[in-house]
Amino acid sequence: MNTLEAIHRRRSIRRFRPDPVPEELLTKILEAARRAPSGTNAQPWKFVVVRSPERREALAEAAYGQAMFHQAPVIVVALGDRKVYKRRMRRAKELIDVGAIDAEVIEKLGNVYRNRATQTLEPDQAIMANCMIAVDHLILAATDLGLGTCWVRFMKVEEIAAALGLPEEVFPIVMIPLGYADEDPPSRPRYPLDEVAFAEDLDHPWPAEVTEDGA
């Protein structure tokens, strides 16, 4: 399956078979998440793979009892890490060292970061934005490997933190029930392309027609 196929085949799966997911597949999808890009290469994320029935039960409670939590054999919890995010200028300097980005750009970036007034995002928002990219990598990799997933944000953050014994600087961002799908749903509604994509400005809807499978 190529990337476009995975994008078009992915669905939110809410019915799972109980079959366990081989460890090597889990490693592959975690590795896909690790490979995700992030601002200044900060990588402010952690992923906890939960398989024990007791912890899954606690996470189901934290997700307001959403039924898929009682079926999926694996729940991946994506976490943001404020301590790791604070090290982002160190990561940025590494980018200079490996020749990926000009020192001049990183210097300007540092000046903007140091001045609260010119920061575009609060730290937790930036952590979340970066973490979401990694989660999308994880989900598309799982799709490629024949696994079903669902993004879950309808959740009680404090309960998840308690269930996983998280330190203060680490906070839950999204949960991903994961396993072999027990349903094959059609694609869900989307706004048409010409309502979401534009040429040059919002007065010119994008003209191209794209079929459901992206061909």
Ligand X SMILES: Cc1cc2nc3c(=O)[nH]c(=O)nc-3n(C[C@H](O)[C@H](O)[C@H](O)COP(=O)(O)O)c2cc1C
Q: Which positions lie near ligand X, rule CB under 6 A?
A: 11-12, 14, 66, 150-154, 188
Minimal distance in Å, beta carbon 101 to ligand X? Answer: 29
Minimal distance in Å, beta carbon 129 to ligand X? Answer: 12
Which CB sits closer to ligand X, 9 or 93?
A: 9
Residue 40: count of CB within 10 angstroms of its CB = 23
Which CB sits closer to ligand X, 152 or 161?
A: 152
Minimal distance in Å, beta carbon 155 to ligand X? Answer: 7
Which CB sits closer to ligand X, 79 or 92?
A: 79
Which CB sits closer to ligand X, 154 or 198?
A: 154
Instruction: Quote the CA–CA distance of 68 and 163 in Å, as a whole number.
Output: 18
Max distance between CA atoms of the chain, in angstroms, equals: 53
- Nearest residue to ligand X by CB is 154
Minimal distance in Å, beta carbon 168 to ligand X? Answer: 24
Whole-Å CA distances, 170 to 6, 33, 81, 185: 30, 17, 5, 35
